[in-house]
Structure formats: structure tokens, C-alpha cells
Amino acid sequence: MGGDETQTVGLVPDEFVEGYEYITEHICDGAPLKDI
């Protein structure tokens, strides 16, 4: 019945975290969104 499927809840890929940090850092610095 599909019991072999595993889901990871609450874990975020490192690439997403790095991208999020990059974007938020530039937003805090006042960079226009179109330049990010």
C-alpha cells in the first residue's frame, strides 16, 4: 500500500537556504528586486 515512501518534513535543501539568504541579504541592503 505504498508504505515504502518516505517524506522528510521540516528539512530544507541547502540550495534553497543559500538562495533565500542571498535574496534577503540583498533586500536588506536596499537592492532593487529586478537586480537580485
pLDDT at 18 (0 to 100): 93
Q: Measure Cα distances from 7 to 1, 3, 33 in Å.
A: 15, 11, 33
pTM above 0.85, yes or no: no
pLDDT tens figures, 9-36? 677 789 999 999 999 999 998 888 788 7
Q: Are 26 and 36 in contact (CB under 8 A)?
A: yes
pLDDT at 32 (0 to 100): 85
